[in-house]
Structure 1
């Protein structure tokens, strides 16, 4: 949802940055790796240890680098297959670091209920992305969903940041909303894949494997 709505506006900011970084000799893959390391460091050193506000600031900065590597690829005029796989893999690592850290923090505070919410966010976030990737791998195109990566990161980090500023129950509300949205989105993705599979089965140009006939 947010991915599609914000892409055009965000590109106006990130595209000039991407061109500048390319001229400096950096590569999109390097930016992807640096951003992921930054998210992991901020999550482990700050979010997991209860420094929620500053952890949110650091993690948000490095999460935004995920937008810059795409801008660099566009400015260069091409991407690479390795870059696509690297970016997707690093996204999963970064998301796992953020919600793993928030889950660790919750359990460390003795808040089992919040910890369960964090675990649900962690698991559903990975499954949502996995279902989409597997569907793409067998040529079953599916559309947008309720809680994609942008929504998950925004809601989780806003909740953590507000909690770090002392807003009561901000993290609880954010994680439980996200956990519920994540469960709904997993089901939504599977329904989308099933519908795409039915359409593919009715297509006489496709083999039984689901791939288009040549």
Structure 2
């Protein structure tokens, strides 16, 4: 999402490092999609494909009780492929100048749906195991992940910045993927605990960051 009217603010060294590697990764992806940009493939097609793959991965994880190795790992592979498609749609939009306001809206919405579908399937697995604490953590991860995106979008709608913290989409995808890889050995709950905690810490960081920006603006106006 583009930032409109955002003013430069003080950020932590860790956030600055994150912003730098994110910008570098986006530039690399944009260049890598230069050839694809000449085809008829559109960012919306990639967004739809990404959502379909993530949902398919969630459905596969839902069958984990039949064969944990097969369905956790296959579901994880689909989720990773879908998440990569979600990343590439933005890169294609920048490389081909095919981006639209509705396309950006669709991409953001589909990102949330794909992630929620996978966390729901993971919560189902915890419920079957009778692991109530992990089930609550999965719910907390879903809510926290939604709020991470919402706080940034709301901040930018107010003309502020809200991109601090390490609970963004990329980090969440990595943690969920690691959890699915470890799931057959009964370690899935630990990455979900980390994911839930990281998401909520990021939400609080962004709330405090927005408040600090508003205070600075008030001081400048006085």
Shared fold, TM over 0.5: yes
In 2, the alpha carbon distance for the partners of 1:60 and 1:14 equals 19
CA RMSD of aligned residues (A): 2.2
- Determine if contact 1:142/1:196 at 8 Å carries over to the other structure: no
- Determine if contact 1:132/1:142 at 8 Å carries over to the other structure: yes
What is the TM-score with the length of structure 1 in the denominator? Answer: 0.84
In 1, the alpha carbon distance for the partners of 2:41 and 2:162 equals 33
Q: Which residue of 2 aligns with 1:148?
A: 168
- Determine if contact 2:155/2:161 at 8 Å carries over to the other structure: yes
Q: Which residue of 1 aligns with 2:54?
A: 39
**After superposition, where does 1:1-214 map in structure 2 within 5 Å?**
4-5=20-21, 7-9=23-25, 11-12=27-28, 15-16=31-32, 18-43=33-58, 45-50=59-64, 51-77=71-97, 79-164=99-184, 166=185, 168-169=186-187, 171-204=188-221
- Determine if contact 2:153/2:162 at 8 Å carries over to the other structure: no
What is the TM-score with the length of structure 2 in the denominator? Answer: 0.81
Task: Report SS of the residue matched to 1:202.
Answer: helix
| Cα deviation digits, residues 90-117 of structure 1 (max 9, x gap) | 1111111121221122112222121111
Task: Report SS of the residue matched to 1:49.
Answer: coil
Which residues of structure 1 form unaligned runs of 5+? Answer: 206-214
